[in-house]
Structure 1
Amino acid sequence: MASIFTKIINREIPGHIIAEDENYIAFLDIMPLVKGHVLVVPKQEVDYIFNLEPMVLSGLMTFAQKVAKAMDKTIKCTRIGVAVIGLEVPHVHVHLVPLKTMDDINFTRPKLKLEKEELAEIAEQIKKGF
């Protein structure tokens, strides 16, 4: 069965897409740790990051770097944090989290619940950084 991320990639369900190419996609996390929390995902559905082919893994990180630089230009934060947890959705994804403090990337904190309009506004803001 397709992961929720594959369903976003295939446009079967909506997502606030930030950037996309033939191999990767970046979209907002709909239950973010902080405003501007982005997920970067390979379009190839693989469950575990270290099972990716080396070129796909390096491409994922290069794509994530481009997204993070756009985020840096458009979101007020100290830097962009990176995390790969890999337990919650069986599809490789890299979390890019705008940081002001170390606690901003604490995954045990309650997630934010943002309205669709606010998510759309944040996505448009980040897109301006490209």
Structure 2
Amino acid sequence: MSTLFTKIVRGEVPAYKVAENSQFLAFLDVNPNGKGHTLCIPKKEVDKIWDLEEEIYQELMRFSRSVALALEKTVPCKRVGMAVIGLEVPHTHVHLIPLNTMDEMNFSNKVKMTEEEFQELADKIHANVEL
């Protein structure tokens, strides 16, 4: 059975995409810890990050770095935090979260955004991504 993220990759479920290449996709988390909270995923469905082939893992980190640098240019923050938890969706994903305080890494903290705010932010981040 396909995960939610595989359905996003296939275009079956909409997403606010910020970066994409042949192997990876980055999109805004629709239940974000803060504005700009982005998920980076391999397009190939693999449950656990440690099950990725080493080369794909390295490429995912390189892709995530590019997205994080774009986030820093787009969303006012002291730094971009990274987390790999993997319990929510059984598809490898890297959380990139713009941070000003440690509390913003707490996954019980969420912000609400309108569809228009999501799309505007996705477009701004996309404009700053250099792959």
Separation in structure 1 between the aligned mates of residue 63 and residue 27 of structure 2, nearest angstrom: 12
CA deviation profile, 1:51-92 (whole Å, cap 9, x unmatched): 000001000000000000111111100010000001010000
Residue type of the partner of 1:119?
Answer: F
SS of equivalent to 2:128: coil
| Amino acid of the structure 2 residue aligned with 1:39 | L
2-structure distance, mates of 1:56, 1:121: 30
C-alpha separation in 1, matches of 2:127 and 2:19: 11
Aligned to 2:57: 57
Residues 1-130 of structure 1 aligned to structure 2 (within 5 Å): 1-109=1-109, 111-130=110-129
1:11 offset after TM fit, Å? Answer: 0.3
Residues in 1 aligned to 2:23 and 2:71: alpha-carbon distance in whole angstroms: 20
Residue 112 of structure 1, CA deviation: 2.0
Take 2:73 and 2:112, find their aligned partners in 1: how far apart are those partners?
24
Aligned counterparts of 1:114 and 1:30: Cα–Cα separation in 2: 8
- Structure 2 unaligned segments of length 5 or more: list them: none
TM-score, length-scaled by structure 2: 0.96
Mapped partners of 1:46, 1:124: distance in 2? 28
Give the 3-state SS of the residue equivalent to 1:128 in structure 2.
helix
**Among the aligned pairs, what percent are the same residue?**
50
Q: Secondary structure at the match of 1:92?
A: coil
Distance 1:112 1:99 in 2: 13
Deviation at 1:43, TM superposition (A): 0.5
Give how far 1:116 is off. 1.0
Count of residues in correspondence between the two structures: 129
Cα distance in structure 2, aligned partners of 1:40 and 1:65: 10
1:27-51 alpha-carbon deviations (Å, 9 max, x no partner): 0000000010000000010110000
TM-score (norm 1): 0.96
- Secondary structure at 2:65 match in 1: helix
- Superposition RMSD on alpha carbons, in Å? 0.8
